[in-house]
Structure 1
Amino acid sequence: MGALRALAAGVLVLALASGCHDASNSANKTAGDGSSTSAPPGGTASRPGDDAWRIPDRLVARPNELAGYADHVSVRSGEPFRLFVTSPEHAFTVRAFRIGWYGGAGAKLIWTSPEIPGPTQPQPILTKDRMVTAINWSPTTTVQTRDWPAGSYLLLLRASNGKETYVPIVIRSGSARGAVLIVSGVNTDQAYNGWGGYDLYVGAHKHSHDQRSLMVTFDRPYGYNPARGVLHDNLPLVQLAERSGVPLAYATSVDLQADPGLLNGARAIVFGGHDEYWSLPMRQAVTRARDAGTNLAFLGANSIYRRIRYAADPHGPNRIIVDYKDAGLDPIHNAPDTTVNWRQNPYPNPENSLVGMLYECHPAKGAFTVRDPNFFLFAGTGAKAGSAYPGLVGNEADRAYPIAGTPADLQVVAHSPTTCDKRHTFSDATYYTAKSGAGVFATGTIEWVRALQGPDPEYGVGPASVAFAQKVTLNLFTALAAGPMGRTHPAIGNLAAVHDLATTATGTGGPIGQSPGPSSD
């Protein structure tokens, strides 16, 4: 099933899933500056939407047919941004769709451009660091965002021949105070973006890790199947969050570094299905928020695995992601922000101290298996000890280990037998409470958010798994918005009863505190 067609089906399944709380009459509000809201009056849950945001598979433009990028990953409502577009066609239009529930439509049309001449831009530049950049393109149009509500947006570009593509952008909230902040993982989206033949994994000769980019930039379009990360790892989460009726705020990975004050007073911070690439200031900002009482939710796997830096270019700060993945290659080779995996030398700081567990392996496949049916987020699901939900574990997974940095009160609420590259291991879902009272929940699987959009035969995700994931996620949003979860739901540590393995030898994520080696996960 094509990715875009699957999303269309997923919105309908979400409306019909019997296991989910129905918040269609709730007045969802999006946090803005202070106590103001920037959501449409009455919220988005029951407001009508527009089906035209979905691109049929037959109309998806190839990169040489239509492509574009924005000079910001996020802006505040009222701030302009520029689009850089290339097309052999004589004209194109832009429509801005805000992702939300909108009565099941999944998005709403906010703005439509007039017809714009379609320029052909020069070939992109390949730098000495094997970074493909379209910084040499000329701006095509400037988009004004006056009165656009904060949220996650897809700009749908349509050429005069009918071909279409997306440019994602976030209208970020001025403040997350009193709200649940949803973070769009744009760093990871860009790391896997192969437009121009290079990304942080491979180069012009595919499967050649040695020829990978050492830096990637936001100043280029996304490749074929554009906005892949938004569609799979963020969009289903945003739609369900807006249906839940809790106060929401929006930002991107970049904003966690550029504006850490945005997190002050947030009820919670939620990360989507795949948020792998983190800078040191990002992690410091989120850790401070947790220690001030802000709940965290990691609804994926492989979070905080790669340590990156940002660099500036002529379009502004934080436009380039630097990731040598090797201290020997990085000019800053012995510092807390040397670009290696977070668990590697120098200055190893594995992700388990914040997420609760470690990245385990890829490719993973298994059934999400409940260990503690009394866990408060499982309420109303009908789950029992040993209940298994096929397809929810994949294609990357995390696992809890009793090692340094793992929270002492870590509660393993699901312990799922998993096959990973023909090896047997486990994928865990965990919960712990910080001294501040903040609660931290992690699903331990990338497939969780993708399952929110509906059944996925490719991964064996059926209706029962979808209903379970949706209900747990709706319970989660309600709990996150109520304040520090640990004050009403303190974690009950049980890791010692689940695991006695003190190494990471079963996984492909690598050991702690060693020098980096080749990695393609």
Structure 2
Amino acid sequence: MRRGFVAVVGLLAIVVLAGCQAGPKQQPSAALGSVSHAVSAGARTPAWVITDSRMAGPADLGGYTDHVSVTSGEPFRLFVSSSDGNFTVRAFRLGWYRGTGAKLVWTSAVVPGVPQPPPTLTPLRMITTNWKPSLTVPTKGWLPGAYVLLLRAANGKEKYVPIVVRSNSARDAVLIVDAVNTEEAYNAWGGYSLYHGPHSLAARRSLEVTFDRPYDDGGARGLLNYAAPVIQEAEQSGVRLAYATSADLDADPGLLAGARGIVFGGHDEYWTLGMRNAVTKARDHGTNLAFLGANSVFWRVRYAPSRLGPRRVMVGYKDARLDPVKNQPVTTVRWRSNPFADPENSLTGMLYECFPAVGAFTVRDPGFFLFAGTGARAGTAYPGLIGDEADRAYPIPGTPANLQVVAHSPTTCGPTHHTFSDATYYTAPSGAGVFATGSIEWVRALAGPDPKAGVDLAGVTFARTVTLNVFRALASGPLGRTHPAHGDLAPLHESPSTASGTGGVVGTVPKPLDLHTKA
């Protein structure tokens, strides 16, 4: 729902170690995204981190892969355009790695770098490219996980390209999902995204976007902001993990069979019907779910092929009147809107509430099992942990009857509008437990204090402790068997009207103006 990502820089103290030549300090690029607390204070800048001085310009260096994910041992092609001459590629796997944040797993030889042809604009205002592959990358021996490919030109300038090595199966594991759909929806490389076109005009936005182009900014903003902090926490948990992307859930729903849990990061807004069906089926077979952000399952999209293969184009008209696929379950509108309205609360437990949201995460149920070890009491508030998008529980059809509201946080939406953000938990008849934090800022806080948002060390410690609890709990099996939810939404006397938020009314067709100003 947000108009753009807000990059967050975590705790990364860059100093000159004893015995090294002194020089000016460099801060991580704002385009980088989250640099986790995994990077210890007093350490050198890790080799995988691109600093401002090394970040290549948008037209100078960039690349993309021919698959958003591959299995270990499956090669992929890398398409690179370089106006800065020859380049090398280094592949880093994101993780804890004793506080470094990532591990180098592969380095290329020097690759000839040339400018590739300029992008083209389709009639549906999709920016696409017709580049030649620059090299094929082997992945033999690469563990499942999220990776960044670091392109480095001869002049020292750098860019990222993300890739996921997906697991063959999530059976008996907790699956982490990289939200590539949402990352692509916000990608404005070439001047167009699903949000705007030139001059930030929503009326000129793309109606389709493609993975056949680089990402804007540093090249991996969404992955580093909203997945990397989760991954770095998870890999300290001792839990068996698996990895996949949004597109993998659509392409291979069998991947989820037998999974202990599925975790969605800070911002997983764009879902296909296939994704939702797969995750719902998994929940109904006992797989626990955790939504660690907000605004999840908000826009319904569908895939189309490109010259590079299936699911390379994401269709998102965001308006049933514009979409040529009429009155179908795959018509691209808000999930809560007609046709075939299916609001997100039946899966996440809540509805998307508002942007821009600001508030303190306020504990309502200190005895909630996932809050163990935090020391929180009823009414304990963690400033800044609500933002900049938030969810809220509503007493409407689809909301689970046993929904347990474990945090109820006063929240401002814009300068004058007041509402609430909730964190919730429910259990399904299958025994699966579903937890949702209700705030995008939750995942950013895992990377360390965020002065801009007002998140202090107490909030960081709370979020990290709960997140580790989440992974360990999900891995234990269907949570409803040991921690059945106890519905307590009614005592809050919430109104069923969604007028307090900016997400739109349930079961309607939004006005075009509403779509453009609040998309």
Query: CA distance change for structure 1 residues 343 and 12 in 2, over 3 Å: closer, same or farther?
Result: closer
Distance in 2, matches of 1:510 and 1:11, equals 34
Match of 1:464 among 454, 458, 477: 458
Offset of 1:245 from its aligned partner?
1.0
Equivalent in the alignment of 1:30: none
Alignment correspondent of 1:199:
193
Tell me, in whole angstroms, the C-alpha distance in 2 between the residues paired with 1:168 and 1:479. 29
Verify the 8 A CA contact 1:172 1:249 in the aligned structure 2. yes
- Contact kept? 1:50, 1:105, Cα under 8 Å: no
Whole-angstrom CA distance in 2 between matches of 1:50 and 1:282: 38
Check if 1:116 corresponds to 2:116.
no
| 1:99–1:106 CA contact under 8 A, matched in 2 | yes
| 1:101-500 to 2 correspondences below 5 Å | 101-134=96-129, 136-206=130-200, 208-421=201-414, 422-500=416-494
Aligned residue among 71, 74, 78 for 1:76: 71
Contact map agreement 1:307 1:338 (CA 8 A) in 2: yes
Distance 1:183 1:417, change over 3 A: same
Contact kept? 1:325, 1:516, Cα under 8 Å: no
- What whole-Å deviation, never above 9, does each CA across 1:51-106 have from its counterpart, x for those lacking one? 21111121111211111000100000010111110011220000000001011111
Q: Is the 8 A contact 2:37 2:99 kept in 1?
A: no
Change (3 A) 1:316 1:478: same
2:12 equivalent to 1:8: yes
The count of aligned residue pairs is: 488
Counterpart Cα distance in 1 of 2:407 and 2:169: 34
Alpha-carbon shift at residue 314 of structure 1 (Å): 1.1
Matches of 2:36 and 2:127 in 1, distance apart? 38
Equivalent position amino acid for 1:425 in 2 = T
Q: Shift in Å at residue 6 of structure 1?
A: 3.2
Distance, in Å, in 2 between the alignment partners of 1:4 and 1:79 is 33
2:95 pairs, out of 100, 103, 126, with: 100
Asked if the contact 2:146–2:163 (Cα under 8 Å) also holds between the matched residues in 1, the reply is: yes
Cα distance in 2 for partners of 1:244, 1:67 equals 34
Q: Distance in 2 between matches of 1:125 and 1:7?
A: 40
Task: Give the aligned residue type for 2:86.
Answer: A
Deviation at 1:8, TM superposition (A): 3.3
Alpha-carbon distance in structure 2 between the residues aligned to 1:95 and 1:442: 35
CA–CA separation in structure 2 for the residues paired with 1:502 and 1:54:
46
The CA distance in 2 between the partners of 1:92 and 1:478, in whole Å, is 42
Q: CA deviation at 1:119?
A: 1.4
1:348-367: per-residue Cα shift (whole Å, max 9, x none)? 00000000000000000000
Quote how far apart the aligned CAs of 1:225 are: 3.0
Unaligned runs of 5+ in 2: 1-5, 14-33
Q: TM-score by structure 1 length?
A: 0.92
Structure 1's 50 and 173: CA in aligned 2 closer, same or farther, altered over 3 A? farther
Q: Take 2:367 and 2:35, find their aligned partners in 1: how far apart are those partners? A: 29
Q: SS state of the match for residue 332, structure 2?
A: coil
| Distance in 2 between residues matched to 1:163 and 1:16, nearest whole Å | 25
8 Å Cα contact 2:8-2:450 kept in structure 1: no
| Structure 1 residue 480: Cα displacement | 0.5
Is the 8 Å Cα contact of residues 11 and 37 (structure 2) preserved in structure 1? no
**Tell me, what secondary structure is at the counterpart of 1:220?**
coil
User: The residue matched to 2:236 in structure 1 has which SS?
Assistant: helix
Q: Distance in 2 between matches of 1:123 and 1:131?
A: 14
Q: Which whole-Å CA distance do the structure 2 matches of 1:202 and 1:499 have between them?
A: 38
Select between 4-13 and 462-471 the one with higher mean Cα deviation: 4-13
Distance in 1 of aligned mates of 2:37 and 2:457: 8
SS across alignment from 2:12: helix
Counterpart of 2:198 in 1: which secondary structure? coil
- Sort the Cα spacing of 1:293 and 1:232 in 2 relative to 1 into closer, same or farther, 3 A: same
Q: Is the 8 A contact 2:144 2:164 kept in 1?
A: yes
Please tell me the residue identity of whatever aligns with 2:128.
T
The alpha-carbon deviation at position 334 of structure 1 amounts to 0.7
The answer to whether the 8 Å contact 1:14/1:454 transfers is no
Checking the alignment, whether the CA contact within 8 Å between 1:50 and 1:106 is kept in structure 2 is no
What is the CA–CA distance in structure 2 between the aligned matches of 1:16 and 1:376, rounded to whole Å?
30
Residues 340 and 296 of structure 1, relative CA distance in 2, 3 Å threshold = same
Task: Report whether the alignment pairs 1:91 with 2:91.
Answer: no
1:60 equivalent in structure 2: 55
Alignment RMSD, CA only? 1.7
CA contact (8 A) 2:38 2:232 kept: no
TM-score (structure 2 length as normaliser): 0.92
Secondary structure of the corresponding residue to residue 232 of structure 1? helix
2:206 maps to amino acid: S
Output the CA distance in 1 between the equivalents of 2:108 and 2:373: 45
Counterpart residue number, 2:21: none
Question: Residues 193 and 55 from structure 1, CA distance in 2 versus in 1: closer, same or farther, beyond 3 angstroms?
Answer: same
Structure-2 separation of matches of 1:12 and 1:188: 21
Deviation at 1:13, TM superposition (A): 4.0
Pair 267,260 (structure 1): closer, same or farther in 2 beyond 3 Å: same
CA 406–225 in structure 1, closer or farther in 2 if over 3 Å, else same: same
Separation in 2, partners of 1:254, 1:485: 27
Aligned-partner Cα distance in 2 for 1:255–1:311: 14
Letter in 2 for 1:317: P
Q: Are 1:11 and 1:104, in contact at CA under 8 Å, matched by a contact in 2?
A: no
Decide whether the 8 Å contact of 1:392 with 1:448 is kept in 2: yes
Per-residue CA deviation, residues 247-306 of structure 1 (Å, 9 max, x unaligned), is 000000000011110000000000000000000010000000000000000000000000
The one-letter code matched in structure 1 to 2:10 is A
Structure 2: which amino acid aligns with 1:53?
A: W
Letter in structure 2 aligned against 1:60: M
Cα pair 1:401 1:499 within 8 Å, conserved:
no
SS of residue paired to 1:429:
strand
- Asked if 2 retains the 8 angstrom alpha-carbon contact of 1:359 and 1:398, the reply is yes
Summarize the Cα distance change of 1:4–1:380 in structure 2 as closer, same or farther, 3 Å threshold. Answer: closer
Q: Whole-Å Cα distance in 2 between the matches of residues 275 and 5 of structure 1?
A: 20
